[in-house]
């Protein structure tokens, strides 16, 4: 994923010159040479298993391609992930989930699950409301690929699994805040990585700090 800067990439299949944000996909074994230009480039790369089927999982039939156009959801997801990684804000399970969701956002336009909601959706929502679980673990439990899980979940629930999970964590924190527990204790018992994680989620979803939420709930 080219986020900033320029890129010239050569393969046996051709050459691409990029000066705007773009998404690139290469199957394992595709030989390539990159020139990032005089100013360099900011890129986010994801190494997938050699067995990952681009056509089946992402609707991408070519072994090598770069895509422009309407990429804002995927690019925003990539920027957000990169920022969070640099800041050290994510747990290993959060990183795993965000990566699968990023891949899901790269899927071919219009390719969405059809028909009725999947039977596993309700139970997966309940699991996320009760526990802080990695996306890959949930997908494995219901027997689907993490990319499909993320896409289907977002279609029927209107948000990514990680967003739903964060909201559920905050919901678990509310009764603890209402009882006046210390913020560090609330964060631990509600499944947050630490108190600062609780603060970020609280501000993102309510516009209030945990301390202000606690005061409001106890008023």
Q: Which domains does the chain carry?
A: 2-69 (no CATH), 164-218 (1.10.10.60)
* Tokens 């959060």 -> residue: 94
Per-residue pLDDT, 111: 47
Residues paired with residue 11 on neighbouring β-strands, in sequence order: 14, 32
Q: What is the mean pLDDT of residues 172-195?
A: 93
Size (the chain), residues: 219
The band of 135, judged by pLDDT with boundaries at 50, 70 and 90, is very high
Per-residue pLDDT, 110: 44
Pairing of strands 32-35, 2-5: unpaired
Q: Which of 1-15, 22-36, 101-115, 123-137 has the lowest mean pLDDT?
A: 101-115
CA Rg, the chain, in Å? 20
Per-residue pLDDT, 198: 95
**Under DSSP, is residue 21 helix (H, G, I), strand (E, B) or coil?**
coil
Q: What is the mean pLDDT of residues 86-110?
A: 79
Asked if 171 contacts 132 with a C-beta cutoff of 8 angstroms, the reply is no
CA 65 to chain centre: 22
Asked if 97 contacts 161 with a C-beta cutoff of 8 angstroms, the reply is yes
Per-residue pLDDT, 70: 64
For 75, list phi and psi in degrees, rounded to 5: -65, -40
Distance separating the N- and C-terminal Cα atoms of the chain: 48
Q: 214 burial class (0-12, 13-18, 19+ CB within 10 angstroms)?
A: buried
pLDDT exceeds 90 at position 176 = yes
Average pLDDT, the chain: 84
């Amino acid at each position: 994923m080219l986020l900033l800067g320029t890129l010239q990439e050569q393969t046996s299949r051709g050459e691409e010159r990029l000066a705007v944000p773009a998404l690139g996909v290469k199957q394992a074994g595709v030989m390539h040479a990159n020139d990032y230009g005089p100013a360099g480039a900011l890129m986010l790369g994801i190494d997938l298993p050699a067995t990952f089927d681009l056509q089946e999982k992402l609707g991408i039939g070519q072994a090598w391609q770069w895509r422009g156009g309407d990429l804002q959801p995927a690019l925003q997801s990539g920027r957000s992930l990169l920022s969070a990684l640099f800041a050290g804000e994510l747990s290993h399970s959060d990183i795993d989930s965000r990566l699968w969701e990023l891949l899901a956002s790269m899927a071919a336009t219009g390719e969405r699950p059809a028909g009725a909601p999947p039977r596993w959706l309700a139970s997966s929502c309940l699991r996320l409301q009760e526990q802080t679980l990695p996306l890959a673990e949930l997908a494995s439990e219901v027997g689907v690929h993490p990319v499909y899980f993320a896409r289907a979940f977002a279609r029927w629930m209107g948000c990514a699994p990680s967003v739903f999970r964060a909201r559920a964590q905050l919901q678990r924190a509310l009764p603890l805040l209402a009882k006046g527990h210390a913020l560090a204790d609330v964060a631990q018992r509600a499944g947050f990585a630490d108190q600062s994680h609780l603060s970020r989620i609280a501000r993102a979803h309510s516009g209030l700090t945990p301390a202000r939420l606690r005061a409001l709930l106890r008023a």
